[in-house]
Amino acid sequence: MAPTTRQPAEHPDPPAAVPPPPARGKGRPRSAAADLAILDATREALAELGWGGLTMGDVAQRAGVAKTTLYRRWPSKSELVVDAIASLFDQLECADHGSLQADIEAVVARFAELLSLPETQAALLALFAEGTRDLHLRRRIRERIVQPQKVLVQLGLANAQARGEMDPELDPAGAEEEIDIIFDTIAGTVEHRLLVSGEPVTPDWVRRFATLLLNPFPGLLH
Amino acid sequence: MAPTTRQPAEHPDPPAAVPPPPARGKGRPRSAAADLAILDATREALAELGWGGLTMGDVAQRAGVAKTTLYRRWPSKSELVVDAIASLFDQLECADHGSLQADIEAVVARFAELLSLPETQAALLALFAEGTRDLHLRRRIRERIVQPQKVLVQLGLANAQARGEMDPELDPAGAEEEIDIIFDTIAGTVEHRLLVSGEPVTPDWVRRFATLLLNPFPGLLH
Amino acid sequence: MAPTTRQPAEHPDPPAAVPPPPARGKGRPRSAAADLAILDATREALAELGWGGLTMGDVAQRAGVAKTTLYRRWPSKSELVVDAIASLFDQLECADHGSLQADIEAVVARFAELLSLPETQAALLALFAEGTRDLHLRRRIRERIVQPQKVLVQLGLANAQARGEMDPELDPAGAEEEIDIIFDTIAGTVEHRLLVSGEPVTPDWVRRFATLLLNPFPGLLH
Amino acid sequence: MAPTTRQPAEHPDPPAAVPPPPARGKGRPRSAAADLAILDATREALAELGWGGLTMGDVAQRAGVAKTTLYRRWPSKSELVVDAIASLFDQLECADHGSLQADIEAVVARFAELLSLPETQAALLALFAEGTRDLHLRRRIRERIVQPQKVLVQLGLANAQARGEMDPELDPAGAEEEIDIIFDTIAGTVEHRLLVSGEPVTPDWVRRFATLLLNPFPGLLH
DNA sequence: TGATAAACGAGACGGTACGTCAGGTCTTAAT
DNA sequence: ATTAAGACCTGACGTACCGTCTCGTTTATCA
């Protein structure tokens, strides 16, 4: 979560599902402006310098803030970047486009759009890489970045069911694994195409990919 | 390519598609043993410390070699790791298991196996992340890691055609894009499942994934 | 000058003839203890290892200080050594021993004593050698090491005049060159004897040398 | 000694007063041209880069010679520089100018001239500094550089005696110390003036210095 | 209104790793 | 056996960031 809301205690880790009581402490309250400035500076620096080039000192300077202020809020570079990037994923949504194919295409296109931003390009894989080792970070990433996407898949399937495109008896419990597999496929494929293969995601590619998912393998006899 | 074969010039970058003339340089030849020791040490250190914990000095020490010897061969940590990891991908192969479904399952399982090695876990995403910025590195990664996998897909489809499972008129030229899409899907999905979602790749999952690729979306009416 | 007094700006080069306004810088103030520890460690290391064996890393370790702290204060090994050695020359003084001959003998003996310390032995010529190329360093050396000695010569001559040993009309302006020549002679000769010829400076030698300066060449007829 | 004459054995340390028998070794003879080229290159590099800037690799390259060839002849940088510089001191001589004053002035002027060469400036003090620690080097320096100067002083005094300027009974044995003192004075003073004080040695200064040595202190009453 | 307390900027601190460089040794093939 | 070439090990270099700390200052709440 963006640490904008004051946390009297330490680092703002806990999900804070319940917004903590304002907890008006005694001292000087944390500057909300600083948080925004820092996150903006982080995104800017990411787009400019990439993950490797990003330094805490530089972010602090861009944000017009002391390094101490950064560390008071985020315990490490990775956590800072999670929050800086995560907000971009808040805009994901899944309108009903009338067919499962159309919905999938929309989701894929929107996700590809996000992954084409310089700051996301620079940060996403690096974050995932760090998450490979740091369990705590991995949890943060899942909450803030992965989960919002997964929800879209669930929503899309629910919509399809509602439209009568799908067998209405699948979802409730047993489809859990099916959702996972579809989600990993969509997210992983788009990431791999854009960030590893380095090829663009065109509308045509989106259509073909969605078709591959929904239909029998093209050219396959029987 | 592994820099084992001496390169009279600088870093052993060029693909050297044509095996360079033995190029008997004048001075003392580079020690082939050193190359092997370094690559081994790199894999060992990767598995132990992860990407972030890997330092050139440490690798040099493990390999019983001076730091300068590392830098004489690889210009950076990333390039070294590409070569260290790449050799693991050389073992990929695509035996004919009798059906496209079986072949795909075999490839996916083998790839997942590779991605489960500690050294690969630690390195792969980090490499991809670096490649996002460094064009030269990206080329190296593609040549040494991505391409060997892609070849498997081509092989698999050719085998399917030979077995008569597929329309024999698809392959030659037009399927280029189809191969890309399938490849990104297989590679991306497995990576995402293992390294991002952090879920294991079980035989059951492999079967379901292959089924998803080859058949209509499960539960989809019409 | 010893960089003990904080300088808000960069390296503490300027003579700071005017004691700088307390210059309460904004950040954490430099540790005065660190300066002392570093200079002590430098002298210790010099005496032990000599100029060539002295390394910044070793000094830092002896002083219980990070290498960066050294470089924050002194831009190079030479400048550090100048300051470390210079303080030893602060103790030079010129008491009135009743005659010019006695005064010269005292100065020579005291200077020889300084040059016999292991740390001075190791450092002085090396410093002078570096000063040959580095103009800035040469200035530092002159201010901190050479000048204090020269002052002694001036004092000695003034005392002699006051005692009526010398023509009272010489000093004011014209003697400038005379002072230079005497100074170079005393300093150069003692250095050469001790550091190049490698012979000791005994009281007898001191007496003979002072006699040579003040009287006609021994054995010379007329 | 310049290692120009072939030494089949190891480093050319021994004085080799007697030119060793040609000693036709078995293999390829050492290139005499290489020695000259190396010494020239050393002097050139010294004048250009100073002691600190001089590297064995650079000298080898300038001389068109492999580094190995350098080390086969000289065991270290300092020893190489001693030989490179020493030859310059071979030209010192002491013609009889008719008076002790004139002879001293000539010697001082000639020595100052030598010390004004860029290569000497760069090397002399550095050599002396190294000699402070390395006993072997100090011996080499004394033989090749210091001794030739000291001989001049002896010669000058002998000439003065022959001319009847000096008490003829002083020299033979007892003057040993006197010669040392005069020598240290002349050499040390000129070095200090040129290399430490950084002032030029003008004819006027030479005259004043010689006068100081031979006559009572100027301005001294009685 | 004044004490208390926390956040703030600045920047020094001890560290660790970096990538480079020079010294001096060695292993080649060629002479 | 010596040569030129150049790889090798060693170890210091000076720099860059890290994350922590210590200052003096500012801004709020509570008494």
The rounded distance, in Å, linking the Cα atoms of A221 and A219 is: 6
Closest residue to F25 (CA, C1′): C26
Residue labelled with tokens 């989960």: A147
Q: Which residue ranges make up each domain of chain D? A: 86-214
Output the pLDDT for position B57. Answer: 97
* B70 CA from E27 C1′ (Å): 19
Residue D102 confidence (pLDDT) above 50: yes
Higher-pLDDT residue of A186 and C18 is: A186
Asked if C125 and D128 come within 8 Å (Cβ–Cβ), the reply is yes
Strand F close to C27 by CB, under 7 A: yes
CB contact under 8 A, C178 and D219: yes
Q: Which two tokens stand for residue D194?
A: 């040129």
CB within 8 Å: C177 and D208: yes
Query: Residue B195 corresponds to which tokens in the numbers above?
Result: 């390294």
| Closest in B131, B199, B221 to A180, CB measured | B199
CA of D180 to C1' of F18 (A): 60
Q: What is the DSSP letter of D3?
A: T
Confidence band for D23, pLDDT divided at 50, 70 and 90: very low
Chains D and C touch (3+ CB pairs under 8 A): yes
* DSSP type of residue A117: S
Per-residue pLDDT, A197 = 93
Using a 7 Å CB cutoff, list residues 31-50 of D near strand F: 31, 34
State whether the beta carbon of B64 lies below 7 angstroms from any atom of strand F: yes
Among A184, A201, A211, the strongest candidate for a mutation testing the B interface, having the largest count of B CBs within 10 A, is A184
pLDDT tops 50 at residue D19: no
Please determine, for residue A16, whether its predicted confidence score (pLDDT) is greater than 70: no
pLDDT band at D202 (very low <50, low <70, confident <90, very high): very high
Q: Could you identify the residue written with the tokens 């894929």?
A: A108
In this prediction, residue D178 carries a pLDDT of 84
Contact B153, B179 (CB under 8 A): yes
Q: How far, in Å, is the CA of C217 from the C1' of nucleotide E24?
A: 51
As a whole number of angstroms, the distance between CA D30 and CA D16 comes to 17
Cα A82 from Cα A136, distance rounded (Å): 12
Chains B and A touch (3+ CB pairs under 8 A): yes
State the Cα–Cα distance between residues D83 and D91, nearest whole angstrom.
14
Nearest CB to D208; choose among C181, C189, C220: C181
Name the residue with tokens 């005696």: D161
Interface test with C, best of D135, D171, D197, D208 (most C CBs within 10 A): D197
Least confident of B66-75, B210-219, D191-200: B210-219
Of C88 and A12, the structure prediction assigns the larger pLDDT to C88
- With a cut of 50, say whether residue B108 has pLDDT above it: yes
Residue A207, pLDDT score: 96
Q: Which band of pLDDT confidence, cut at 50, 70 and 90, is reported for residue A158? A: confident
- Amino acid A55 reads T
Q: What are the tens digits of pLDDT across the range D29-39?
A: 666 777 899 99
Contact call for residues A168 and B219 (beta carbons, < 8 A): no
Distance CA D48, CA A221 (A): 80
Structure tokens at C179: 């002072």
pLDDT for residue C172 is more than 70: no
**Residue D105's pLDDT is what?**
94
The reply to whether residue A217 touches residue B217, judged by beta carbons under 8 angstroms, is: no
B104 Cβ neighbours under 8 A, 6+ residues apart: B156, B186, B210, B213, B214
User: In the prediction, which pLDDT does A1 show?
Assistant: 45
How far is Cα B43 from Cα A85, in angstroms, rounded to an integer?
31
Residues 6+ away with beta carbon under 8 Å from B70: B38, B56, B59, B60, B63, B80
Residues 6+ apart with CB under 8 A from D95: D103, D106
Q: Mark yes or no for CB contact B185/A212 under 8 Å.
A: yes
Q: Residue B192: its chain A contacts at CB < 8 A?
A: 184-185, 187-188, 191
- Whether D4 shows a pLDDT value over 90: the answer reads no
What SS3 state is found at B166? strand
Secondary structure percentages of chain C, helix, strand, coil, to 5: 65, 0, 35
In chain D, residues with a C-beta closer than 8 Å to the C-beta of C128 are 125, 129, 195-196
Smallest CA–CA separation between B72 and chain A, in Å? 23
Q: Tell me which range, A11-15, A151-155, C57-61, is most confidently predicted by mean pLDDT.
A: C57-61
pLDDT at residue number D26: 57
Let me know: does C63 contact C34? Beta carbons within 8 Å.
yes
* More confident position, B33 or D175: B33
Q: Is B94 left (phi over 0), alpha (psi -120 to 50) or beta?
A: beta
Cα-to-chain-centroid distance, residue B107: 13
Estimate the crossing angle of helix A100-115 against helix A203-214, to 10 degrees: 130
Report how far Cα D102 is from the mean position of its chain's Cα atoms: 22
Across the interface, whether the CB atoms of C214 and D220 are under 8 A apart is answered yes
Residue nearest to nucleotide F28 (CA to C1'): A28
B222 → chain A, closest CA residue: A165
Contact B153, B183 (CB under 8 A): yes
Residue with minimal CA–C1' distance to F30 is A26
More confident residue, A99 or C172: A99
Residue for token pair 């982080």: A42
> What's the one-letter identity of residue B94?
C
pLDDT of amino acid A129: 94
Of chain B, the percentage scoring pLDDT greater than 90 comes to 63
**Closest Cα to residue A58, out of A72, A74, A41, A73?**
A41
Interface test with C, best of D125, D163, D201 (most C CBs within 10 A): D125
> Do the domains spanning B32-73 and B87-214 agree at the CATH topology level?
no
User: Nearest nucleotide by C1' from C31 CA?
Assistant: E12
| Out of C189, C213, C221, closest to residue D217 by CB | C213
Residue C159 has pLDDT above 70, yes or no: yes
For residue B187, give the nearest of B130, B136, B120, B99 by alpha carbon: B120
Q: How far is the CA of A57 from the C1' of F19 (A)?
A: 11
Question: pLDDT exceeding 70 applies to what percent of chain B?
Answer: 86
pLDDT of residue D29: 63
Tell me the CATH number for domain A86-214: 1.10.357.10
Q: pLDDT (tens digit, 9 = 90+) per residue, B20-31?
A: 444 567 889 999
3-state SS class at C35: helix
User: Taking the alpha carbons of C72, C77, C79, C85 in that order, is the dihedral positive or negative?
Assistant: positive
Instruction: Give the pair of three-digit tokens for residue C155.
Output: 């004092």
Q: What share of chain D is helix, strand, coil (3-state, %, to 5)?
A: 65, 0, 35
pLDDT at A9: 40
pLDDT the model gives residue D109: 94
∠ CA(B82), CA(B85), CA(B89), 5° rounding?
115
pLDDT of residue D219: 77
Q: Answer yes or no: is D57 CB < 7 A from strand F.
A: no
> Which residues are CB-contacts of D38 (< 8 A; sequence separation ≥ 6)?
D59, D60, D63, D65, D69, D70, D73, D80
Which nucleotide C1' is nearest D27 CA? F1
Q: What is the pLDDT of residues C138-158, one digit of tens each?
A: 999 999 999 888 888 888 888
What six digits make up the tokens of A217? 């393998």
* Residue D5: CA count within 13 A, CB half-sphere: 13
C-alpha C35/C-alpha C42 separation (Å) is 10
Using an 8 Å Cβ cutoff, are B154 and B179 in contact?
Answer: yes
CATH C-level class of C87-214: mainly alpha
Integer CA distances (angstroms), B4 to B1, B7, B54, in order: 8, 9, 22
Please give the distance of CA D85 from its chain centroid, rounded to a whole number.
7
Tell me what the mean pLDDT of segment C98-103 comes to.
92
Contact C128 D196 (CB under 8 A): yes
State pLDDT tens for residues A93-102. Answer: 878 898 999 9
Sign of CA pseudo-dihedral B9, B11, B12, B18: negative
Whether C37 and C64 have beta carbons less than 8 Å apart is answered as: yes
**Contact check, Cβ <8 Å, B220/A214:** yes
CATH class, B32-73 region: mainly alpha
Distance D131 CA to F13 C1' (A): 24
From A101, A105, A208, select the one nearest B222 (Cα to Cα).
A101
The rounded distance, in Å, linking the Cα atoms of A106 and C50 is 73
Q: In chain A, what residues touch B167 (CB-CB under 8 Å)?
A: 219-221
Start-to-end CA distance of chain D, whole Å, equals 50
The 3-state secondary structure of C83-101 reads: HHHHHHHCCCCCCCCCCHH
User: What does the pLDDT look like over B4-17, one tens digit per residue?
Assistant: 434 433 454 444 33
Strand F–CB C62 distance below 7 A? no
- B155 neighbors B83 (Cβ within 8 angstroms): no
> Side-chain half-sphere of A104: how many Cα atoms within 13 Å?
23
**How near does any CA of chain C get to the CA of D101, in Å?**
11
